[in-house]
Chains A and B, each alone.
Chain A
Amino acid sequence: DTEVTQTPKHLVMGMTNKKSLKCEQHMGHRAMYWYKQKAKKPPELMFVYSYEKLSINESVPSRFSPECPNSSLLNLHLHALQPEDSALYLCASSEGRNTEAFFGQGTRLTVV
C-alpha cells in the first residue's frame, strides 16, 4: 500500500473562512510534506514534518498553519486566504527525509 489520502478533493472558500485540509498515510512513514502547485508549474515545498515535528517551513505566510496530530495524519489549517492562494495542495510522505516520497491526489483549492 503506497497510498496517501487527501480530503477534500475540492474546496471553495471565501477570504474570511477557516478551513482545513487533511492528509493520511498508513505506510509507517515518518516524514510528511505539504506542497503547493499552481497551474502548469512544478510543486513547491511549503512544510516538512519529521517524526511529528516541524522541521522545515519555507517562509510560508502565517495564514497557512500546519499540524501533525500523530505519525499518520497531517493537517493544513487555512485562514484569511487570498485569491492568489488558489492552487492544488499536495501532501506527500516518505519513510525518511531522504527516501522516495509518495504523493496524494491533492486538494484543489479555490479562494473567492
Chain B
Amino acid sequence: ETGVTQSPTHLIKTRGQQVTLRCSSQSGHNTVSWYQQALGQGPQFIFQYYREEENGRGNFPPRFSGLQFPNYSSELNVNALELDDSALYLCASKASGGYNEQFFGPGTRLTVL
C-alpha cells in the first residue's frame, strides 16, 4: 500500500511569485486536506477536497487555491507569495466516513525570499 506522497520536497521562491505543490493520496482515499505548518507551530488547516470540490476552508486568503483530480491527487496553488508563506506544507488523505483518521505525507518545505 502506497502512502501519501508530496512533491517537491523543498522549494525556494521569491516574494510575488506563484507556486504549485502536489500531493498523491493514499490508495483508497478520496479526501485530501492541506495544512500549513510554520516553524515552531502546529499545522493550520488550509482546505479540504472531496470528489474534486472544496469541502471546508480555514482562515486563509483566496490566493491559496487548490484542485483535486479524478484520481484523488491534489494541488495547492499559492499566488503572490509573501515572506510569511514560508512553511512546511502538509497534505493528508482519508477515506470517506469513518473516524476522520488522516494520513500525512512528508511535506513540502517552501522558503520565500
A and B: interacting chains: no
Chain A interface residues toward B at CB < 8 A: none
Chain B interface residues toward A at CB < 8 A: none
